[in-house]
Amino acid sequence: MFFRGIATTTILLLACAGMAFAADAPLQSFHADYQVLRNGKEIGHATLDLRPAANGDWDFASQTHGTAGMASLLGLDVVEKSTFRWDAGKPRGLHYNYAQKAAIKSRDTTIDFDWATKTASTNDNGKAASVALDAPAMDRHLVTLALMADLKSGATDLDYRVVEKDKVSDQHYVPSSHETLALAGVNIDAIKIERDRGGDSKRSTTSWFAPQRGFLPVQIEQVEKNGETITMRLTTGQH
């Protein structure tokens, strides 16, 4: 009975510790569903999920599934997952995995962050590399959370160090305007954010974050060099 009491107390303490980690985080758990469009035509759906994990870690996952057009014919399925910890209000990467499966092309990318040795081990479709980490950094997937956290805190410098295939790159984002979007059957006020790619880049990334929804991204639009536009639009989302 004595040992059972100790075990129960230990479990309660661990549970409380997990709650403390979650309470200290700048963002809380959420799930959101999106419609995916290519050049204005629906091709699939996507989800975003943020959840606390063990030992103070967090998991951020997204999944995109093709349901129409070529995306459906090719059986397109993309799963992207990041494990990280919050560090001074920003996500610090621990592990990243990207898996794209399709009939004609598949891709697998992983990144393992080792902060003890300040290196990141990357593997892109079998091509391995080691990247030096001289400052806190994240994978590209975590930039969405970094923007959410910074916008929530009122930060104006939206600059992030992102580990890619064989290097660390600097990504800079700029708030451009406030807009009202008609999404999920309602009008949603959102902050429009543009990625500053510099020079005369023909690619663009624009995101809309809703303050009244915990700064959840309610629309994301990517324009490629060939003019093709991929858009994610919120259908349902909750914290």
Q: 74-100: per-residue pLDDT in tens?
A: 447 899 999 999 999 999 999 999 998
Taking 90 as the threshold, does the pLDDT of residue 8 lie above it?
no
Tokens of 28: 């809380």
Q: What's residue 14's pLDDT?
A: 38
Output the pLDDT for position 142.
98
Burial class (CB in 10 A: 0-12, 13-18, 19+), 161: middle
Digit-coded pLDDT (tens) for 61-70: 999 988 766 5
Structural domain boundaries, residue 200:
2-238
Q: Give dist(CA 166, CA 127) in Å, integer.
A: 10
Beta bridge partner(s), residue 32: 48, 237
DSSP per residue, 193-218: EEEE--TT-S-EEEEEEEGGGTTEEE
* Residue 215 burial by Cβ neighbours in a 10 Å radius (0-12, 13-18, 19+): buried
162-210 tens-digit pLDDT: 999 999 999 999 998 999 999 988 999 999 999 998 876 788 999 999 9
| H helix runs in 87-131, sequence order | none
Closest to 225 (Cα-Cα) out of 201, 198, 195: 201
One-letter identity of residue 227: G
Q: pTM (2 decimals)?
A: 0.86
Show the tokens assigned to 197.
Answer: 């790619």
Q: What is the pLDDT of residues 135-164, one digit of tens each?
A: 899 999 999 999 999 999 999 899 999 999
Note the pLDDT tens digit of each residue in 9-39: 333 333 444 444 455 799 999 999 999 999 9
Count: domains in the chain? 1
Instruction: For residue 39, report the phi and psi dihedrals to the nearest 5 degrees.
Output: 50, 40
Sign of CA dihedral 9, 52, 146, 215: negative
